[in-house]
Chains A and B, each alone.
Chain A
Amino acid sequence: MTKNNSGSRSGIALPLVLVFSICVMVFTASLVFFRKESKQQNLTNVHFLQANFLAQSAVQMMLLKLSAFPQEACDAGVLSLGYCPFRGIIAGSELAPVAGANRQGLIDFYSDCNSDRFPWKVPGITAANWKFATTDFKVISAYTNPGERQLIISSQITALGEANLPRGEMGVRKEEMIKTVKLTREN
């Protein structure tokens, strides 16, 4: 006597369909989740670009000011270390600030390179959403070239861009940028 096992398949269709449906639902949910992630990534990318170009704008303003007032920048830089701008600095010497060194000259120099002091010319924008500023300017090395009678200073501009992207409720994104420049003062 042979008995087939069709009896064990009793009620198999429903569980099969339910398992299949659950699998498809999980797959779809993961697709939707990854799509949201991708959208967020794109928004973050755009937000970064906006803040980054604002920081570059601050660097540009500072470069313009440095090109127009190189002597004042050099004097402020040397004074920030406490040195006399007319004395030579031996190449390679340690540039530790001396006691009583005054950074105020540097602060006076860079603190107006921002979008508050020079507002955007672009009409129709919300200025609070597009801000940039030079946040620091410091001397990292200096030496005197006696042959050319020049004081040569390497300095760092630190700039900050702040973009507020209402789209996607991303809030304020801040990007900092540091640029090193060489300044020359004819003595």
Chain B
Amino acid sequence: MIIRQNAGVTLAELMIAVGILAFVIVPIFGLLQYSNRGTREQDAEGIAANLAKEEMNRLMYVITRENLLLGAGAVHEWSFGADYDIKGNKFSGEYTVYPFTSNELAFAIPKFIFHDPQTCSSGVESNPGGTLNTPDTMTIAEVYPDTAGECRLADIRLVIRWRVATGEYNDVNQFELLARRAFVDKE
């Protein structure tokens, strides 16, 4: 003889369970979607940082002085081109170069009053306390009078923007890098 006990899951219990599930799952799906979108944006930001580093290294150490200074003061597109695509994300960048003139670059240079080298026997400076005079100032134009018109120092501003496939460029998804490049004559 089989005795059945059907006291397991009642309809009311089932309804409460489904209610709780719906109450919990719906906002969680929203959070998951938010998290997923955020992950895509973070991924894009990481790529943007790497591209910015590449581009700034190019501007600092690779591109020639003539090419860098071409159209100085105007905004130039970066070397990757507009809307550079990586994994469906778009990246754009632009840089501006602001040159210094050689006359603006007035450096302080220490002035020395060394002892008479004819009397030097020990190799030790015998007048260390009184060796220095007030530092002088000299411009790069004075150091290189023949090429005083050449630019030897320039500021570079690089701005990077990015957007995910479904987004638009905005003021939040961007950052800038600043650097100063010297043009040193190789001898």
Contact = CB atoms under 8 A, between A and B. Distances in A.
Contacts of B107: 65, 68-69, 112
A24 interface: yes
A13 B17 contact: yes
Contacts of A76: 110, 112
A64 B108 contact: no
A35 B35 contact: yes
Contacts of A16: 17
Interface string A33-60: 0010011011001100110011011001
Q: Majority SS of interface residues in chain B?
A: mixed
A7 B21 contact: no
Contacts of B165: none
Contacts of B185: 67
Given A53-B177, A64-B182, A122 B157 contact: yes
Interface residues of B, number: 75
Nearest to A121: B98
A86 B114 contact: yes
Contacts, number: 220
Nearest to A39: B42
Given A69-B107, A108-B108, A64 B153 contact: yes
Interface string B101-135: 00011011110101101001011111011011001
A130 to B, nearest CB: 5
Nearest to B50: A45
B4 A86 contact: no
B2 interface: yes
Given A54-B178, A79-B125, A118-B105, A31 B49 contact: no
A1 B2 CA distance: 6
B60 A56 contact: yes
B108 A105 contact: no
Contacts of B184: 63-64, 67
A49 B5 contact: no
Size category of the binding interface on chain A: 35 or more
Interface in A1-38: 1-4, 6-7, 9-14, 16-18, 20-21, 24-25, 28, 31-32, 35, 38
CB-CB nearest 9 A-B residue pairs: A121-B98, A64-B182, A57-B180, A86-B117, A87-B123, A21-B24, A60-B182, A108-B110, A53-B179
5 contacts: A2-B2, A64-B184, A98-B124, A105-B112, A109-B108
Interface of B: 1-9, 13-14, 16-17, 20-21, 24-25, 28, 31-32, 35, 38-39, 42, 45-46, 49, 52-53, 56, 60, 96, 98-100, 104-105, 107-110, 112, 114-115, 117, 120, 122-126, 128-129, 131-132, 135, 138, 140, 143-144, 152-155, 157, 175, 177-185
